[in-house]
Amino acid sequence: MQCPKCGAQVSSAQTECAECGVILAKAGSRRHVFRAPVVATAPPPPPKSSPVLKIAIAIAVIGVAWMLFRTKPVSAAGWYEGARGYEQAMNDRSSSGKPVMVYFHTTWCGYCKRLDQDVFKTADFSQRYGSSMLKVSINPEKGRAEASIAQQYAIRGYPTVFVVASNRTSEPIVGYRDAEWFYARLAGAVGN
């Protein structure tokens, strides 16, 4: 005898099919094999993004963009600015051969403001050093990368200026008295 459900051979003394477990007395003498119908199913729809997830992704993208573009490496006045500017100036020094003046300052430093006004923003400074050297302005209080560069140069006070030329770094020019005092020290640092 054959099981009506799975088609396995069963003896007439058996009450249940050993293969599929169908009770033979209830299945009767039907001779066809029962098979479950095959139903084609569509794939499940993709999960819907929650509005919170979309907002979180948008905030992350804006945050990354802000970090990348918050400061321009070179200002309109020809100064490289911040840590990104420092890296760019050092790369440009390799290709141009020009020395790099690195100027450390803060917003609260009175002597820094005087050095900016009396020297760096003057036509005399532009004429003397405008095209002959790369200039970097770094405020160590702007971020971790800037603070790390200041630590690398062991900055102890503001303003502090270094000149990097031919793989050597000058002695620091610390503080400010007047323009002539600064120009004399800068010329010594540059080697003029």
The DSSP line for 58-72 is: HHHHHHHHHHHHSS-
Closest CA relative to residue 155, chosen from 140, 176, 144: 140
Q: What is residue 25's predicted lDDT score, i.e. its pLDDT? A: 67
Copy the structure tokens of residue 172: 């620091």
Q: What is residue 61's predicted lDDT score, i.e. its pLDDT? A: 78
Instruction: Examine the pLDDT at 21 and tell me if it is beyond 70.
Output: yes
Instruction: Examine the pLDDT at 76 and tell me if it is beyond 50.
Output: no
Q: What is residue 34's predicted lDDT score, i.e. its pLDDT? A: 56
What's the gap between Cα 19 and its chain centre? 63
Mean residue pLDDT across the chain: 82
Instruction: Examine the pLDDT at 153 and tell me if it is beyond 70.
Output: yes
Q: How far is CA 169 from CA 140, 161, 183, in A?
A: 19, 10, 17
Instruction: Examine the pLDDT at 165 and tell me if it is beyond 80.
Output: yes
Specify the pTM: 0.60
pLDDT in tens, 60-70: 777 776 566 55
Residue-range domains of the chain with CATH: 1-37 (no CATH), 71-190 (3.40.30.10)
Q: Which residue would you say has higher pLDDT here, 149 or 56?
A: 149
Closest CA relative to residue 136, chosen from 166, 167, 110, 98: 98
pLDDT in tens, 77-110: 689 999 999 999 999 988 888 999 999 999 999 9
What's the gap between Cα 166 and its chain centre? 31
Residues 158/111, Cβ–Cβ less than 8 Å: yes
Q: Are strands 160-165 and 173-174 parallel, antiparallel or unpaired?
A: antiparallel
Rounded Cα distance between 74 and 71, Å, is: 9
